[in-house]
């Protein structure tokens, strides 16, 4: 049997690479902060917010009025196929409204948005870029 004399050896434990922290406030709302030291050592990689029990977070209402009377230009493909036609559509609405709308008039649900821009100066540029 070996004797253990003297000072015990120091056991160094490795810090976890992936971990999460959960925080709660007085209302019952909680946040989960997820860390991954392989990605960044400066802070969390994601923060999830959960409302208090019985409440829901409401989304802000987006006004459809355009910025400075500028048009919104959208270039989209009609589907995800490689031979899908590329089309250009001009809206007199806010770019945030166009980006977050569930359904837009004249744009199919299966379409894929390629570009979104503000201003009439973008129309000839996109026509030349996508050969429309």
For residue 12, tell me if it sits in a domain. Answer: no
**Closest C-alpha among 83, 72, 67, 79 to residue 113:** 79
Q: What is the pLDDT of residue 60?
A: 76
CA distance 122 to 130: 12
- Regarding whether 82 and 119 lie in a shared domain, the answer is yes
Task: Count the helices and strands in the chain (H runs, E runs).
Answer: 2, 6
The reply to whether 31 and 72 lie within a common domain is no
Distance CA 42, CA 48 (A): 18
3 within a domain of the structure (yes/no): no
Is 76 among the domain residues?
yes
Residue 4 in any domain: the answer is no
Are 34 and 84 contained in the same domain?
no
Whether residue 5 has pLDDT greater than 80 = no
Cα-to-chain-centroid distance, residue 4: 57
The percent of residues in the chain predicted with pLDDT above 70, rounded, is: 98
Please enumerate in sequence order all residues whose Cβ is within 8 A of that of 108, keeping only pairs 6 or more positions apart, or say none. 78, 79
pLDDT of residue 117: 94
Q: Which domain holds residue 121?
A: 67-129
Would 13 be classed as within a structural domain?
no
C-alpha to C-alpha distance for 75 and 88, rounded to whole angstroms: 5
Tens of pLDDT, residues 46-93: 999 998 888 887 777 888 888 888 999 999 999 989 899 999 999 999
Number of domain units in the chain:
2
pTM: 0.57
The predicted pLDDT at position 1 comes to 59
């Amino acid at each position: 049997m070996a004797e253990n004399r003297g000072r015990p050896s120091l056991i160094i434990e490795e810090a976890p690479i992936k971990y999460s922290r959960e925080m709660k406030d007085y209302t019952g709302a909680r946040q989960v902060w997820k860390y991954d030291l392989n990605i960044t050592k400066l802070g969390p990689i994601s923060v999830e917010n959960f409302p208090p029990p019985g409440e829901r977070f409401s989304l802000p209402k987006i006004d459809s009025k355009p910025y400075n009377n500028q048009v919104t230009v959208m270039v989209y493909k009609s589907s995800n196929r490689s031979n899908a036609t590329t089309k250009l559509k001009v809206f007199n609405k806010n770019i945030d409204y166009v980006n977050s709308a569930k359904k837009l008039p004249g744009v199919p649900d299966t379409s894929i948005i390629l570009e979104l821009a503000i201003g009439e100066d973008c129309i000839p540029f996109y026509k030349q870029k996508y050969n429309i």
